[in-house]
Amino acid sequence: MIMNSKMAISKSALVLGVALAAIVGGCNKKDDLPKGQVVATVDGTDITTTELNSEIALAQAPPEVPRKTIEQASLARIVERRMLADVAIKRGLDKNPAYLMEKRRLDDGLLVQALQTSVAAKVPEVTTAATEKYIDAHPMQFADRKIYSIDQIQFLRPNNIASIGLQDAKTMADVERVLNAANIEFRRAPASVDTMTAAPQLSKAILEILTRDPNEVFMFADQPRGAPAPIVYINHVTDTNSQPFVGAKAVAVAQPILQREAVQKALTEELKKIKAEEKSKIVYAKGYEPPAEVATPAAKAAGGVTASPGAMAAKPAAPTGAVPAATNAPSN
């Protein structure tokens, strides 16, 4: 009887051991792990290789970082984001009005981007012939390209700028004396303008100044984003370096410019078309109607062209370190 009891105990232990082994083994079965296009799951929701690759692309990691390291870091971000989002939903935060408003804004923005991408994809690629024609029509950017070295003074425009005597300054040294006498802080540093990348209006203005007088001191003013007041830029061209940009290199630069212009034109036309089609579906509450577009006499004479309220003319590109907008120069 004792032997039978021991045998019974041994059999029970054996059965229990086999059961535990089966449970542990089941937890580690490769068949139960994510596979195929699924790289992980969070509470049963799949994270796919497509989602992981998108996260990796957004990370823009340096090329020297190993691919596996990037994958692991990117996947960790997705898992954490998904996990926290699930918790937020369980706590009912997805019903919060502020969240719903922001979600609608983000969703609308993503859909607009998708629409823009769809329109852009249908724009034919600009031909080499059209690109070469553009290059010929813009010699200052290509065949006659110049890089201007500039001695530049920058300062915040004071309210009394008209009375401090800048109009009598003939040289950069004169400008410094006027500013020092008026207790105006300024910075003097070199800048440059490359006519290949600068706005044509700016390149043309500098060329006209140099043709009139190579020693002329000229002034621009603008208020860059974040500046507490308009910034004044007083300039003197110290050197002109001709660097023609022609051939295949010029085509490689000009073609994307033309393609962007073609895409922008297509987007503008599509927007105009959509506005016309959807206009009848929009109803405003009293007092919230958009301001009526009013054509000026000149615009009417030109065929009814109108300008939206608040529209501004394009400003020329700036020299390195400056954002000039309009000239009002002390001259020699």
Average pLDDT over every residue of 288-296:
69
Residue type, 83: M
Asked if 204 and 322 sit in the same domain, the reply is: yes
* Distance between CA atoms of residues 318 and 310, nearest Å: 23
What is the structure's pLDDT at 8?
45
Does residue 165 lie in a domain region?
yes
How does pLDDT run across 239-253, given as a tens digit for each residue? 999 999 999 999 999
> Phi and psi of 230, rounded to 5°?
-55, 145
Percent of the chain with pLDDT over 70: 78
Distance CA(135)–CA(141), nearest Å, equals 8
Phi, psi at 189, each rounded to 5°: -155, 155
Do 322 and 220 belong to one domain? yes
Please write the tens of the pLDDT for every residue from 206-241: 999 999 999 999 988 888 888 888 999 999 999 999
Residue 303 amino acid letter: G
Say if 221 falls within a structural domain. Answer: yes
Residues 161 and 221 in one domain: yes
Average pLDDT (255-272) is 96
Q: Nearest to residue 222, comparing CAs of 213, 232, 212?
A: 232
Q: What is the mean pLDDT of residues 93-102?
A: 96
What SS3 state is found at 156?
strand
Per-residue confidence at 195, pLDDT binned at 50, 70, 90?
very high
Find the domain containing 194 and state its range.
Answer: 129-246+318-327
Q: Give me the pLDDT at residue 316, please.
A: 34
In a domain, 275, yes or no: no
Same domain as 322, residue 184: yes
Please indicate, yes or no, whether residues 87 and 223 belong to a single structural domain of this protein.
no
Structural domain includes residue 43: yes
Residue 301 clears pLDDT 50, i.e. is over it: no
pLDDT at site 31? 57
Tens-digit pLDDT profile for residues 27-63? 445 556 777 899 999 998 999 999 999 999 998 888 8
d(CA 299, CA 98): 43
Domain membership of residue 107 (yes or no) is no
Lowest-confidence segment of 58-62, 85-89, 147-151, 178-182 by average pLDDT = 58-62
Select the more confidently predicted residue: 103 or 5. Answer: 103
Q: What is the pLDDT of residue 56?
A: 92
Q: How many structural domains comprise the chain? A: 2
pLDDT at residue number 293? 56
Question: Above 60 in pLDDT, residue 295?
Answer: no
pLDDT above 90 (res 191): yes
pLDDT at 4: 52
Same domain, 215 and 146: yes
pLDDT at 158: 93
Whether 168 is in a domain gets the answer yes
Q: How many residues does the chain have?
A: 332
- Examine residue 273 and state whether it is found in any structural domain, yes or no: no
Confidence band, pLDDT 50/70/90 cuts, at residue 280? very high
The CATH number for 65's domain is: 1.10.8
Over residues 200-208, the mean pLDDT reads 91
- Which stretch, 1-5, 145-149, 282-286, 327-331, has highest mean pLDDT? 145-149
pLDDT(2) > 90? no
Same domain for 62 and 177: no
Are 190 and 322 in the same domain? yes
**Same domain? 91 vs 133:** no
Domain co-membership, 87 together with 166 = no
Higher pLDDT: 329 or 82? It is 82
Per-position DSSP letters for 60-73, written without gaps between them: ---TTS-HHHHHHH
